[in-house]
Amino acid sequence: MNLQQLEYALTLERLGSFTQAAKALGMTQPALSLQIKNLENEIGISLFDRSRSKIEPTESGLKFLLRAGEIVSASKQLKDYAIALSTEFKGILRLGVIPTLSPFLVPMFIDDFTNSFPEITIEIHEQLTEQILQQVRLGELDGGIISTPITRQGIEVKPLFYESFFLYKNDQLFDSLESFSISNIEIENLWLLEEGNCFRDQVNDICSFRNIKSNTRMKYLCSSIDSLIRMVDHYGGATILPELTTLSLVSEQEKHLAILDDKIREIGFVSRKLSGKEHLFEALTNTICQNIPPRMRQKDGREVVDPGITVNW
């Protein structure tokens, strides 16, 4: 068993196809199949289920590949460490950011970061939480900014800041309210993100859906916070917004905000253990925290909403 065989197996896991993996590795499919079979024979377990159209790890194979990924990552960190010795802040940083954060958070810190660290190239990928975690685990992304807390094998989590939840409403009944508990009111036409978004899961958690009614004949499924705001402006009703979103509203829209004083969501930075890029992560997270309003850096004893993340590993 050697590092090259482990990289072959990890590439096959990532792409789910012997043909695609062989092409990505620059080798023939029979040669790749032989290498994977030799590895399986040596360790005494079957790594992949070959009975389906998409190749997927077996239960034991997934556990092995998790450890294999850590070993391959640890071997690669020596090169990154050598770069860090020659110049402290230099290299490529591939970062995943969830859609409910990216359009509002990235503009707050990106100019300061690129100006302060001109030798770091940063790539921003806007993706859902499960995709970010999976790609961080596989090494396709260096890190991610998501709603936390989470606990996953091989993943490091660093809390960054905390967002309050706001009700954004276009209804005269609530125009005079500055704060309240969502569980004690009835709302008609509560516009929500589509299922599968962790912010939708958090809204489900803080809302008592027994008290929510809908009189509209239209069902609008979207993955954009901006779209929810536009729907409320045009059709009325209400939606739930994270705090960073509210900072970009115009003064007329700010009149329709009311803070929900029940819970908050935690935003954290996730990365793979032993990545070798910890110095870049520190530079990034410090810059983010410096550009976040001070009130958002403290939890102040408030309850953090479970992001409801489900990743099967």
Query: Do residues 145 and 97 lie in contact, with contact meaning Cβ atoms separated by under 8 Å?
Result: yes
Taking the C-alpha atoms of residue 145 and residue 127, their distance in angstroms, rounded to an integer, is 10
Could you write out the DSSP letters of every residue in 208-259?
Answer: -GGGEE---S-----S-HHHHHHHHHHH-EEEEEEHHHHTT--HHHHTTEEE
Does residue 56 have a pLDDT over 80? yes
- Between CA 273 and CA 134 the distance in angstroms is 14
Q: Given a cut of 50, is residue 210 above it in pLDDT?
A: no
Which ranges constitute the DSSP H helices of the chain? 3-15, 18-25, 29-43, 59-86, 102-116, 129-138, 198-206, 225-235, 243-246, 251-254, 278-291
- On the question of pLDDT at 119 being above 50, the answer is yes
- Whether the Cβ atoms of residue 162 and residue 265 lie closer than 8 Å to each other: yes
Lowest mean pLDDT among 154-158, 166-170, 208-212: 208-212
Q: Which amino acid is residue 299, in one-letter code?
A: K
**Mean pLDDT score, 144-158:** 89
Of the candidates 16, 8, 135, the one whose C-alpha atom is nearest the C-alpha of residue 68 is: 8
| Start-to-end CA span in the chain (Å) | 23
Per-residue pLDDT of 22-37, as tens digits, reads: 999 999 999 999 999 9
Mean pLDDT of the region 146-161? 89
The structural domains of the chain, ordered by start, are 3-72 (1.10.10.10), 77-161+266-304 (3.40.190.10), 162-264 (3.40.190.10)
Instruction: Please report the pLDDT score of residue 46 as a whole number.
Output: 93
Mean pLDDT score of the chain, rounded to an integer?
A: 82
- φ, ψ of residue 18 to 5 degrees: the values are -65, -40
- Classify 184 as helix, strand or coil: helix
pLDDT average, residue stretch 89-102: 89
